[in-house]
Amino acid sequence: MHCRAQGTTGTAVGVCHDCGAAVRPEHTLVAHRVVRGRPLLGRPGRITARTVRCTTRAAAQAA
């Protein structure tokens, strides 16, 4: 449920990677994903990056 629809406000701590909504701590899920990088020289590497998602999009992704 959106905070504004409930008549509450607060400080956002991030932006949802999927929908672009500003999210408060209680509506935030931080997931880890592997990102492949390609250096100019050498072999491609993998790093782990954090992804911020709102709970609505996180639930949809899990289904």
Q: What is the DSSP letter of 7?
A: T
pLDDT digits (tens, 9 = 90+) for 7-44: 888 888 999 998 998 999 988 999 888 887 776 676 77
pLDDT digits (tens, 9 = 90+) for 39-58: 667 677 788 888 999 988 88
Supply the pLDDT for residue 15.
Answer: 93
Residue appearing with tokens 């992804």: 51
What are the residues facing 47 on neighbouring strands?
Answer: 35
